[in-house]
């Protein structure tokens, strides 16, 4: 025979769980993922690209279309070292990016270092050789 009513046992269990979860750093618990192992700062920075290549243009612009294969090749050849991002500035979302990067013409290429700081900018079509030269300035191999 149970001397403690079911509702009191449930309340006690909930209280204990609340105390346990409050004591834990919940951000770390959720960041651990499926493996149960949290990623160290060294592991996280190792996956961080050395360069972010931001292309600001439009899918309807002829020079911008000519940049698409170059962006794809750079992304494939320098996988893990270079992150390629495209913003279509002729869309409402892309317009905000155009303002953020203060562009004057399209296409415009903005190159960001590993800390997200702009270190180079080019306006107009940019041949692959030029793009590669610029990304290698940051130690990309």
What's the rounded Cα separation, in Å, for the pair 32 and 25? 11
Question: Does some domain include residue 11?
Answer: yes
- Model confidence at 21: pLDDT above 80: no
Rounded to two decimals, what is the model's pTM? 0.68
Mean pLDDT (whole number) for 128-140: 97
Domain count, the chain: 2
- Model confidence at 43: pLDDT above 80: no
Domain with 111, as residue range(s), is: 44-136
- Structure confidence by residue, pLDDT tens digits, 49-64: 999 999 999 999 999 9
* 49 and 25, same domain (yes or no): no
Mean pLDDT (whole number) for 4-31: 52
* 71 and 115, same domain (yes or no): yes
* 74 and 30, same domain (yes or no): no
Mean pLDDT (whole number) for 66-92: 97
**Containing H/E element for 87?**
strand 82-88
- Structure confidence by residue, pLDDT tens digits, 25-34: 444 434 444 4
What's the rounded Cα separation, in Å, for the pair 140 and 69? 20
């Amino acid at each position: 025979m149970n001397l403690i009513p079911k509702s009191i046992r449930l309340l006690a269990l909930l209280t204990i769980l609340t105390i346990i979860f409050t004591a834990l750093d919940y951000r770390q618990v959720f960041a651990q993922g499926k493996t149960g192992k949290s990623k160290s700062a060294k592991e996280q920075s190792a996956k961080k690209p050395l360069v972010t290549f931001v292309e600001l243009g439009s899918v309807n612009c002829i020079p911008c279309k000519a940049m698409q294969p170059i962006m794809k090749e750079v992304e494939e050849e320098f996988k893990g070292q270079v992150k390629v991002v495209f913003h279509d500035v002729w869309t409402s979302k892309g317009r905000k990016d155009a303002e953020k990067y203060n562009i004057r013409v399209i296409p415009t290429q903005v190159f960001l270092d590993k800390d997200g700081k702009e270190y180079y900018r080019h306006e107009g079509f940019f041949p692959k050789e030029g793009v590669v030269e610029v990304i290698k300035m940051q130690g990309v191999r």
